Structure 1
C-alpha cells in the first residue's frame, strides 16, 4: 500500500491508500494530547520516504518509524527550505535570510551540523530555485558562483581538489540523476563567445562534451531520470531579436563521444516531459494557448534505433502540462490555470484516449508511486491569503484510467504529497525481464488483489454485523427498562394503563382539501 500526507487547517494527517481508498494512520494524536499542533507550516518527504519533515519557527523536525516518532530536531530559525540528498544521508536547510548561516548542511543520522553558508545571492546571476544541488550518490554537493561552480565533498564539506570548477558565465547547472557523476551547465553568450552547454565528469573534471549555441535568449536543461539523455530546450531569437523560436538539443550521455541531435519546433513550446521508464518524451506546442498540439517522440527510433523520431501528434487539445506515470506509457494531458482543470488520461502505446475528466481549477497533480492512482488537488497558499484560491479546496483520487475513486472537500487545504517508495532492488535488465514475462505474474497478483478485497469486504461485513447486534441489544435493554417503568406507572395509577390501546376510542375523519382549482371556458 502507498501512503500520503495532508495539510489542511490546523491538521496534519497520514493516510494509507488501498487502491485509492484512504485509511487514516496518524493525525498527530500525541501532540494534541499535549495541547500542541503537529505542524503549522508545510511538510516534505525525504526522497526514499524514510522521513517526514515538518517545518516550525525554531527549525525542522524529522519523523519516522512505525509509530511516527520524532527522530531528529534541527535548529534553524525561520527555515523554509529543506533539501535532502538523494540517498537521504544529508540535508540542506535554508531560511532565505542574509547572514553567516542562511544555509546549513546537516548529517541526517547524527543531526550534526557539517557547515554553514551565507545565502550569497548578491553579485551573481538570477538566484536559483535550489542554491545547492546534490550528486546522485551523495558524494558531492555543488553551488554556482561567479564564473565557477564550487563542488564540495561529503562529509568533510571541503572543496574538491581545493578549488572550484571554472565555468565562465555559468547560468545554471544540473547533476545527472543516475549513473556516473556528470554535471551539465549552460552559459549565455558573452563578448565574442557563443552560448554553450558543457558536460563535465567528476571528480576528474574532464569535459566530455560541449555544444556551442548561437542567438540564444534562454536555455532549460532537463535530464532523463536514467541519466541516459539530456534535453536542452533552446529559445533562440532572430538577428533582429524580434522573433523567438525553439529547438531541442538531445545529448546521448551513455554513448561514446556523447552525440547530439537537434529537434526544431515550428511553433511555441509550452511543456516538455520525459517518460520515466523508457526513451520517449512528449511536447506540448502551438500558438493558440487553449487548443495546443501534443507530440510524442522516441529517442531510440529509426532503422537503427538511435534517432529522435516523431511517433505521432494529437492536435487541438486543451493542454498546457504533462504528467507521466512513474512506470511510463500512461500520461495525463492536463489543462491547468486558465484552461480550468481539464484532464485527459492517455495510453501512449495504444495511441488512444482512455478517459476525459475535469477538476475545476486544480493546482496540483501527482501520481502515486505504483502508477495506479492519480491525485488532483485544489490547494491554497498557507501564508498568503487570496480569495481566488479558497474556492473548492480539496482533492480527488482517480485510477490511471480516469475513473473517480474518491472526492474530498477540505477547507483551508494546503498540501497533498504521496510518500515516495524506496528504490527498486531490480536492475534495469531484471526490470525489462519482468515486463517481458508480465503475463506470468498478472494472474498471481490479480488473485492476491481479489483475496485482499475479499478480506476487506468480509471485515466490513463483520463490522456492520457487530454494529447491528450492538444496536439490537441496546433496543432490547431499553425495552426491558421501559416495561419495568410501565409496571410501576400502572401500580401508581391504580391499575390504569395509559398505553393500553383498549382504553382509547379511535375515530376516523375524512377531510377534503382543494389544493388548486382551474376554470376553463368551453365553446358550445
Structure 2
C-alpha cells in the first residue's frame, strides 16, 4: 500500500506493507524508501522523478500510477514499479484514469490556433495498455472537464453544449445516445449498473424553479420517461451525490447570496429512483457544510447549522437515525467499510476530530489535527492521513499518519523551501480489506504514541478586569448526542409511555379523592324552610358501599338529587321554573329508588 505525495520538484510515495507503513521520497537530493513505525529503517529503491510535477492520479484498484511533468506524462505499474508507457505532451493540468485503468484522460488549458482561428483540442483520451490516442475533444472550461464512467466502464458520459453525450465500451468514435436537457449545467452518473442511471440539473430562469431529473440509460424520451423529478427555488449551484447502489441521490442546492444568511441559502433534497423525492429535514437553522454517503449506501450523514454545528445520521427514508449533538465540525468522512464515521472541523476551525462507531453509535475517541487541508482514510479503514499542503497553507507543510483510536503513528515535516502540494493513499481492489470487528483496547495497545506538533494553544480573550475569575456565561450551548427513535427513560427507569399512563392514573385517583372530600366538607345551602335532613346528610360523611363502582354511581345520584333539592327550594321561594327544570323534578322518585337499590339508606324525603 502506498501514499503518494507531490512536492515542488519532489514526489513522495508511502507504502503500506503488512503490519507497518513505509514511505518513499523522491526529490532533488535523491530517491529512497524508508520504513515507517514500528519497524523504521531503509527499504528498497523506488524509481522516481526529479522534475517538476504538475498532477498525479491512481486508477481505482491502484495498479496504475500516472504523473505529468512539464513535457512528459509517465504511467507505471505499482506492483513492479516498471514504466507502462511515456508520452511527450506538455502543460497537462489535470489527469484521471477510468475506473479499470484502461483509459487515461488529460486536460490542458484551452488555446486557439492563431492561423486557423480555431480552438485546439485540449481533452485527450489514451489507451493505457498501448499508449495510443483514442480521441481528442475541445473542452474550454476546467470546471467539469472530466468524463465520467460507470465502474464496469460500460458507458462514459460528458456534458457538451447543453446535452449529455454517452459512449459505450470506451469506443469514442461514435456517440451512442444523447440526452437533451435545455440549459443543463450539471449532471451525475451513478457508478453502479447495469441498469445505468443518470441525473441532470437545469437552473431556473425568470421566476421558474430549478429542477433535477433522473433517467435510466438509454430511456431518455422526455419528461415522461424520467424515473424521478424534483423542482426547487433558491438555487445557483448544486452538488449531486449518488449512493453506492445507485438507488438514491442527494442534491445540495446553494445560493451565493441571501438576505438572511451571509453564506447564502442551502437546501438538501433526497431523490429515489423509485420516484420518491423530499426535502431532508434539519433540526437546526444554518448552512449545510457537508453531506456524505456511507459506503454501504443505506445511510448518510449531514453536518449543518450555525456553529456549533449539528451532525445527523439519516436512513433511506430521510428519517433521522441518530443525532451526534453539536460541536466545532464542518465535514464528515466514513471509512471505506462504513464502520467508522469521522466528524472534523477544518479550515477556520481548530482541527477537532471525533471518531464514532456507526453500529453501536458510540464515540470512540477525540483528537486534534490543526491546519489540516487533506484528510483521507486508509483502505484498511483503521488508519488515516492528514496533511498540511500548499497553496492553501505555505507554512508548516507536512503529513501525519494516525490510527482511528487517536494515536499519532508518524509525523513528517517538509523543511526548507519545499512545499507539499498533495497527499493520496494508493487505491486497492474492492474487497481487499473486509470489515472487521473494532477492538478499541487492543488497537490502542498496539498503536505507538508520538507527540503532536508543538504549538501554542489559543485561549479565549477576556478583559483584564475579568481575568482570574470564573466566566459568568457560556458562549455556546452544546447539545449532547441523542437517538430520536429511542424511548427516553424516566428517573425511575420506566419508559416514556409507561410514565405517561401512570400520571393519568394518579390524576384520576386525585380527582376522585377531591370529589369525596368536597362532598363531605362542603357547607349546606341556606334553605328557606330551615335546616332539614338534606343538610344533615351533606354535613356528615357520605356512606360507602365498599365497592368503588357502586360508590361512583351513588355520588352521581346524590349530585342529581341535590340539584333537585335546590330546584324545590327555588320553587317554594316563588321562582318560576323552566320546562326542563320541571321535568327534572319528576325524576326524583326514580333517583331515590336507584340509590336505595345500591343498599344505601339516604333519607331524601
Could you tell me how far apart the structure 2 residues matched to 1:261 and 1:34 are? 53
1:77 to 90, 96, 99: 90
Counterpart check, 1:105 vs 2:131: no
Contact 2:165 2:179 survives alignment (8 Å): yes
How many Å apart are 1:25 and its aligned residue? 5.6
2:390 alignment partner, SS class: coil
Distance 1:21 1:415, change over 3 A: farther
Could you tell me how far apart the structure 2 residues matched to 1:242 and 1:389 are? 31
Contact 1:20 1:398 survives alignment (8 Å): no
1:261-340 alignment runs, 5 A limit: 261-265=278-282, 266-267=284-285, 268-288=287-307, 291-299=308-316, 307-340=317-350
Contact 2:53 2:70 survives alignment (8 Å): no
* Matching residue of 2:429: 422
Could you tell me how far apart the structure 2 residues matched to 1:115 and 1:344 are? 46
Distance 1:410 1:108, change over 3 A: same
Counterpart check, 1:203 vs 2:201: no
How many Å apart are 1:264 and its aligned residue? 3.2
* Matching residue of 1:506: none
Distance 1:33 1:237, change over 3 A: closer
How many Å apart are 1:36 and its aligned residue? 6.5
Could you tell me how far apart the structure 2 residues matched to 1:366 and 1:264 are? 28
How many Å apart are 1:140 and its aligned residue? 2.8
CA displacement, residues 270-324 of structure 1 (integer Å, 9 cap, x when unaligned): 1111111241111111123xx111111122xxxxxxx322122233300011111
Contact 2:216 2:227 survives alignment (8 Å): no
Higher mean C-alpha deviation, range 6-15 or range 390-399: 6-15
Distance 1:146 1:390, change over 3 A: closer
1:478-489 alignment runs, 5 A limit: none
Distance 1:100 1:311, change over 3 A: same
Distance 1:323 1:36, change over 3 A: closer
Contact 2:59 2:101 survives alignment (8 Å): yes
1:80 alignment partner, SS class: strand
Counterpart check, 1:217 vs 2:232: no
Contact 2:189 2:198 survives alignment (8 Å): yes
How many Å apart are 1:93 and its aligned residue? 0.6
Contact 1:20 1:406 survives alignment (8 Å): no
* Matching residue of 2:587: none
TM (normalized to structure 2)? 0.61
Counterpart check, 1:396 vs 2:427: no
Higher mean C-alpha deviation, range 140-149 or range 15-24: 15-24
How many Å apart are 1:245 and its aligned residue? 4.6
2:235 alignment partner, SS class: strand
Contact 2:63 2:79 survives alignment (8 Å): no
How many Å apart are 1:54 and its aligned residue? 1.4
Could you tell me how far apart the structure 2 residues matched to 1:247 and 1:183 are? 21
Tell me how large the CA RMSD over aligned residues is: 3.3
* Matching residue of 2:270: 250
1:154-165 alignment runs, 5 A limit: 154-161=169-176, 164-165=178-179
Could you tell me how far apart the structure 1 residues matched to 2:265 and 2:281 are? 9
Q: Relative contact order (C-alpha < 8 Å, sep 6+): which is higher?
A: 1
Could you tell me how far apart the structure 2 residues matched to 1:335 and 1:406 are? 21
How many Å apart are 1:261 and its aligned residue? 3.5
Structure 2 gaps, min length 5: 33-44, 112-118, 447-605
* Matching residue of 1:186: 201
1:477-516 alignment runs, 5 A limit: none
* Matching residue of 2:550: none
Could you tell me how far apart the structure 1 residues matched to 2:105 and 2:340 are? 34
1:351 to 350, 361, 364: 361
1:8-157 alignment runs, 5 A limit: 8-18=7-17, 21-24=20-23, 27=26, 37=50, 40-98=53-111, 99-121=119-141, 128-157=143-172
Higher mean C-alpha deviation, range 315-324 or range 32-41: 32-41
Query: Number of aligned pairs?
Result: 409
Contact 1:234 1:246 survives alignment (8 Å): yes
Rg comparison, structure with higher value: 2
* Matching residue of 1:167: 181
Distance 1:9 1:237, change over 3 A: closer
Distance 1:401 1:19, change over 3 A: farther
Contact 2:53 2:69 survives alignment (8 Å): yes
Higher mean C-alpha deviation, range 75-84 or range 151-160: 151-160
Could you tell me how far apart the structure 1 residues matched to 2:127 and 2:407 are? 43
Could you tell me how far apart the structure 2 residues matched to 1:42 and 1:192 are? 42
How many Å apart are 1:346 and its aligned residue? 1.9
Could you tell me how far apart the structure 2 residues matched to 1:134 and 1:37 are? 33
CA displacement, residues 145-195 of structure 1 (integer Å, 9 cap, x when unaligned): 33322223343313434x632111101001101122211111011357532
Could you tell me how far apart the structure 2 residues matched to 1:37 and 1:14 are? 13
Contact 1:232 1:250 survives alignment (8 Å): yes
Distance 1:159 1:135, change over 3 A: farther
2:323 alignment partner, SS class: strand
Structure 1 gaps, min length 5: 122-126, 300-306, 382-387, 454-524
* Matching residue of 2:413: 409
